[in-house]
Amino acid sequence: MTFEQFQESVSQPAPPKGISVLLEALWHDANGDWEAAHNIAQSQEGTQAYDRLHAYLHRVEGDTFNAGYWYRRAGSEVFRGSLKEEWAHLANTFLQKA
């Protein structure tokens, strides 16, 4: 799946079949279901990609202190772009690992 295809999928009523759980979390976030996305991020705490997702989601929530904690846990720099840019960055990263 390409980034463009994934981005278009957010207008569908359900996440595309066969995508990774991390992409599913981003799909839920794009559809305003932060809680579903956060539950996925919490499901594998201590895993770099999940911790990175967790950081983004707390940034979405507006909790920059907590986001900073998760960026550090993920071994990642705090993302300096917009939330939209970070979502795209994560989607592209997770698509490459799929």
Q: What is the pLDDT of residues 7-29, one digit of tens each?
A: 999 999 999 999 999 999 999 99
Domain boundary assignment for the chain: 3-97
Mean pLDDT, the chain, rounded, equals 96
Measure the CA–CA gap between 71 and 73, rounded to whole angstroms. 5
pLDDT of residue 62: 96
pLDDT of residue 98: 67
pLDDT of residue 97: 86
| Averaged pLDDT, groups of 10, the chain, 98 residues long | 96 95 98 98 96 98 96 96 98 91
Give one DSSP letter per residue of 16-85, joined into a string.
PTT--HHHHHHHHHHTT-HHHHHHHHHHTTTSHHHHHHHHHHHHHHT-HHHHHHHHHHHT-PPP-S-HHH
